[in-house]
Amino acid sequence: MPIERLKTCRLTVGMISLILISYQASHTFAQAIPDFNQFQAIKTAPKVWWQAVHDGDLQKLKTLNQDGPYIRSRTEKGFTALITALNQGHTTIVDWLLENGADANDQTDFGYTTLMAGCVKNNADFIKRAIKAGVPLDARLPNHEGGNSAMHFAAINRATDCLDVLIANGADVKITNRINLTPLGWALYNGRFEIFQHLVDKGLRPEDHDLVPGWLMYFAIKHNRPDLVLTFGKLGMAINRSDKETAMDVAFDIYHLDCARALLQITRWSENTQTDQQEKRIIDTILEADTVKLKVLAPTISQTCRTDFIKHALKFAQHRGQLDQVRIITDANFETFIAYEHNRVLENRMRNAIKQGKWSQVNDCLFAGVDINTPEFNREIYMLLGSHIRKVQFVNWLIEYGYKIQKTNTLHHDPVSRGVSAQAHAFVKAILKLGVPVGRTALPIAVKKSDVEMIQILLSDLHRVDFDNLYENTHQIDIIEYARQYSTPDIQKIITQAVSTAKQLLENGGDK
């Protein structure tokens, strides 16, 4: 190619490139130039404007806005007049601002939306308009600002109308804030009991919102609500936040003795036996500070109550502030108190031996007569069963020494499902003999694993299985359809036959 022609081509390409670069730069610059009207819309407002918004002075706002406009102006933290008016509950100002160009999609620099602000004073009409305008239902503040959503703001501000609108429009009722509380948990945490109940009446289940197990029970105790303590107990919700601080410890620490009594009702007196009734009478007498009646009842503790009851009686008397009651109980039950202390030593030794896998020491404690059926220790043993699914001998010892399953234990722990997951057939067979019920997830686990032997163990007594209440994790399932989807034709046949037999027996009024 001739040199002159090559130079011409290079020059042409260079010019084209320069033109393109110039076009892009000019186009970008044009985009960067703010629209004049937009510039006017965000003009900085004077202090008197914000004072008028805060005070709800519509006439002054109209006058001041003629010098603006200030409708879209912001404070240093990004608050607009609309958000401020919503916070103050000035509905007339809110309406005027919207009619004059305020944007429902505005939010502060830290993410506080108009939907959140509308919930502060229960402005349900604005909430409807904001949702229609596209304000995100489930936006939440960043964690360093609390992490709350509009639902949380509605809950803490008792904005029932806003809650109803948000829920009706599909807001996430399980959205959590910085401390992992849903709006229902947030309401209870802040003592908004009417909001808590309103949400329950809307169909929210407290057990689904105890995301940090034991927290809702803790809040109920902190606010001295024994009625909620009993409700949560009946729902099978977690009682203790941790092993280091039990719910009973919390109740006694803050002297909420009615809550402590409710906890005994859940953990100790659920079957309402004669022993339960006698223990309740004694605790109620202590709470009533009826010294005369206590002198009559105290000597019966050793004959009619469980070994460890004296511990509870003394603790209630001490926290009730009746020192004469402490003396009455101790004097009338000196031998029982000594027996309780001896049993407590054996409990500690056996507890540590179980945790350390020192099974000969466990057997020694059982032989020495440790009481494995006091409610607290009985529950501890039950909780430990699932951690020793290969130690069938331990279960056999419990059977030999008369261990009795307490119904309340089964609400919080499911050792059968743990054994099924590990395909520990001998362990599952043994704990079923002990009287442990089949949990609602055990059979689905066995089916999904196609474990025929385990399925036959679980179905050996149809009394144990509630076919209408079976779950995979938290999702309720139809066990026949589940077997068809995840297992073999033979297992599906076994399950179908078992379900049919159980239904027929129930229809005929017989046992499964």
Q: Which domains does the chain have, with CATH numbers?
A: 39-229 (1.25.40.20), 274-332 (no CATH), 371-507 (1.25.40.20)
Whether pTM exceeds 0.75:
no
Question: How many Cβ atoms from other residues are within 10 Å of residue 108's Cβ?
Answer: 19
pLDDT in tens, 326-378: 999 999 988 888 888 888 899 999 999 998 999 999 999 999 999 998 888 98
Decide if 362 contacts 394 (C-beta within 8 A): yes
User: In 10 A of CB 52, how many CB atoms?
Assistant: 23
Instruction: Tell me: pLDDT of 461 over 90.
Output: no
Closest by alpha carbon to 163, among 189, 206, 133, 192?
192
**In the block, which residue shows the tokens 């919503």?**
86
C-alpha to C-alpha distance for 337 and 35, rounded to whole angstroms:
85
Q: Pick the closest to residue 150 from 140, 161, 165 (CA basis).
A: 140
Quote the pLDDT of residue 243. 62
Query: In 10 A of CB 19, how many CB atoms?
Result: 10
Kindly report, residue by residue over 80-95, the tens digit of the pLDDT.
999 999 999 999 999 9
pLDDT of residue 2: 44
Distance CA 252, CA 235 (A): 23
Confidence of residue 123 (pLDDT cuts 50, 70, 90): very high
Q: Which of 420, 414, 427 is nearest to 447 (CA)?
A: 420
DSSP of 225-294? -HHHHHHHHHTT----S-SSS-HHHHHHHTT-HHHHHHHHHHHTSTT--HHHHHHHHHHHHHHTT-HHHH
CB count in 10 Å sphere of residue 441 = 20
On the question of pLDDT at 27 being above 70, the answer is no
Q: What SS3 state is found at 355?
A: helix
Confidence of residue 7 (pLDDT cuts 50, 70, 90): very low
